[in-house]
Structure 1
Amino acid sequence: MLHAMVGNTGTNWKLRHVSWRRVLSQQDWGSLISTITVLIVFAITDAALGGPRARPFQVTDSTISYPYGYSLVPYWSVIVASIAALLLTIVAAELWLRRSQHTDLTNALAATLHFLIDGLSAFGVTGMVTQITKMAVGRLRPDFLDRCKPVVPSPLIVSYGLPASANPACTEPESVELTDGHYSFPSGHTSTAFAFSVWTVGYAVWAFSLRAPRLSAAAVRQMSVGQRLAREAMTAAGFLWIVSLLVYAWFVGVSRITDFKHHASDVVGGALLGTLFGLAFVVRSIARLGSVVDVPIDLHPGTGSPQSESELLGHNGGGRDTGRVHASSMVPV
């Protein structure tokens, strides 16, 4: 199907002309409903489990005898920092770097909301799967004995193959901290950090590098020295941003080991879980963008069209179209 793509004129990009009804009505509600359905099923499963699985332990187990202390990276800070990075990346791409690919501000905001909802959906599903897995496994944290302070049998006898009912009693009263001591696998901090980071990195790679239109090598050679330096600086900044997101997720995972909150395998499991859901959701959101806004196809990948190269080089009114109508092949991705 052929659509006429109107250039982003100043009027179309005034906030007062935004149709918020269109922003909402254009959303991919089918995908959102499916995500909500999955979350409801997981919430019911979480409630049905009721608590962590009881696991047998020995007071002589050195792997769970580390000191109980504070967390270097609180969970709330992981969520706040991750959402901020996700939102900043989406806004930078949809409302600035790829502004020329939207017909007006309404469509740009619709795309922004589409990606934001999907990123938050990845977080929600990852969090629920992490919590259910924690309860089903019931693995003890490295600092569990310090939380529990169990009664030491006298005389001390090491026995094997005993059920959880034979565990020595904890001298510490029942509390949130004691229950949390059974939630070691997988690491929730790590799964959250990786879900957000991998989703954001996947989106950034697509939005900054793979999304049409792109400049051809010939167009790059035609740039002035100043334009070339600015372009390379932006490329380097984008790469550093991507690396920083991955390093942050790695730092969060490592901190859970050094804080004695998780075993190394817990962090690996959380990283794998977050990576899988982050990738799954970002691929879905990119593939479904065509159901939210019109998406142009790059008919000559790697070469760029004269129109797009002219815009990206700063011609034709500073990179924005002056309101002319172009016939473009527009189909959903």
Structure 2
Amino acid sequence: MRAGASGTTADELHGGGTLTSSPKSQDIMADVQLGCYTIKSHGAKIARLHMYDWIILVLLAVLDGLLNIIEPFHRFVGKDMMTDLRYPLKGNTVPFWAVPVIGIVLPCAIFGGIYFKKKNFYDLHHGILGILYSVLITAVITDAIKDGVGRPRPDFFWRCFPDGKDLYDNVTTGVLCHGENSVIKEGHKSFPSGHSSWSFAGLGFLTWYLTGKIAVFDRKGHIAKLCIIVLPLLAAALVAVSRVDDYWHHWQDVFAGAIIGLLAICRCCVNWLHRPHSGFILLPAIFPVPFRRRRVVASRVQHPPASRGGHCRKLLQHAAHGGDGGRRARSGWDRPERRPKT
């Protein structure tokens, strides 16, 4: 959500109406002047403004759960095809429960650490909301394709015939499985890789986030910054490679999962993050006045020039009400003699 896209004014963020001199209003205004957007001052208001975003997020989670319950398409598997599906049935190097930890919990912990240092709840909120959308959109797309394609895993033979005694239809030469239904069901979910898509969606979002936070492309020649942003992508790649090593996926499954995850974060980063070369990646996306301008305004109010009279007061009113009073004050446009004749 781009800056000002929601049409929110400063009055809405500060409880509506004009600014008062109550202690709570003074605390909020002090936070704004210092560039601080804390959970206490802005948390409830941001949550209300993004209520529908969180509702849709819950619906996406429910939809993904349903996609995991339904039976996938059982693609025909013949006797001749079993040559490529006889890889051993192994456990998971990266268990299923570890994928959300790597792709969601770890990045959110980094977002939280940055919040405690910078005191910017916009940053924390949009970071968490953005990564959850990236992962859940990826999960829904991945599981929907899994159910629709029904590609057998490389270890399908041992899922279908756990005792090693294969049995085929005399007419179609199709497999007649006698393994556990849940194991066979999971054996038809090879394409694309969920581990790969989840990892690249979560850790790819973290890479984009850090790219702006540490100003990787500031053209100052700090190669160490590139190493930092490569680490999350390297971790995602290792998770994806482990799926091929465990014989749970073909290499095409892993490659397709990575593409899905990266495409999802590109869409979500456009909504919640600015371009990675901006150097200030998470500006307040619903504040009507740009963040940097607010800090300049606060500095002018704290140290007003003696010769400018009430100009700084008008700048503060412009920042608080989201109007163009500051610009008018600078140009004198609100004076009757300066207005054009009609």
Alpha-carbon spacing, 1:33–1:289, altered in 2? closer, same or farther (3 Å): farther
Following superposition of structure 1 onto structure 2, how do residues 80-119 of structure 1 map, counting pairs within 5 Å? 80-96=101-117, 99=118, 105=119, 108-119=120-131
Q: Which residue matches 2:45?
A: 22
Tell whether 2:248 aligns with 1:261.
yes
Deviation at 1:7, TM superposition (A): 3.7
Tell whether 2:271 aligns with 1:284.
yes
Tell whether 2:76 aligns with 1:56.
yes
Deviation at 1:247, TM superposition (A): 0.4
Over residues 301-323 of structure 1, what are the superposed CA-to-partner deviations in whole Å (9 max), with x where a residue is unaligned?
xxxxxx7xxxxxxxxxxxxx899
Equivalent position SS for 2:97:
helix
Match of 2:206 among 189, 200, 203: 200
Equivalent position SS for 2:215:
helix
Q: Compare CA radii of gyration and give the structure with the larger one.
A: 2
Equivalent position SS for 2:255:
helix
Equivalent position SS for 2:273:
helix
Deviation at 1:22, TM superposition (A): 3.1
Equivalent position SS for 1:75:
coil
CA RMSD of aligned residues (A): 4.1
Aligned partners of 2:284 and 2:291 also within 8 Å: no
Deviation at 1:241, TM superposition (A): 2.7
Letter in 1 for 2:251: A
Tell whether 2:231 aligns with 1:244.
yes
Whole-angstrom distance in 1 between the partners of 2:258 and 2:229: 17
Whole-angstrom distance in 1 between the partners of 2:93 and 2:215: 35
Larger CA deviation: 190-199 vs 51-60: 51-60
Whole-angstrom distance in 1 between the partners of 2:58 and 2:38: 33
Q: Which residue matches 2:330?
A: none
Q: Give ranges in structure 2 of 5+ residues lacking alignment.
A: 11-28, 275-281, 304-311, 323-342
Following superposition of structure 1 onto structure 2, how do residues 176-325 of structure 1 map, counting pairs within 5 Å? 176-209=182-215, 238-286=225-273, 290-293=284-287, 296=290, 324=302
Aligned partners of 2:38 and 2:121 also within 8 Å: no
Deviation at 1:147, TM superposition (A): 1.0
Following superposition of structure 1 onto structure 2, how do residues 124-139 of structure 1 map, counting pairs within 5 Å? 124-139=136-151
Aligned partners of 1:114 and 1:292 also within 8 Å: no
Q: Which residue matches 1:147?
A: 159
Q: Give ranges in structure 1 of 5+ residues lacking alignment.
A: 100-104, 221-231, 300-306, 308-320
Match of 1:72 among 85, 93, 98: 93
Equivalent position SS for 1:269:
helix
**How many residues are aligned here?**
272
Alpha-carbon spacing, 1:93–1:283, altered in 2? closer, same or farther (3 Å): farther
Identity, % of aligned positions: 23
Whole-angstrom distance in 2 between the partners of 1:112 and 1:295: 19
Whole-angstrom distance in 2 between the partners of 1:255 and 1:88: 24
TM-score (norm 2): 0.65
Over residues 38-66 of structure 1, what are the superposed CA-to-partner deviations in whole Å (9 max), with x where a residue is unaligned?
6666666x38x931112111334222110
TM-score (norm 1): 0.67
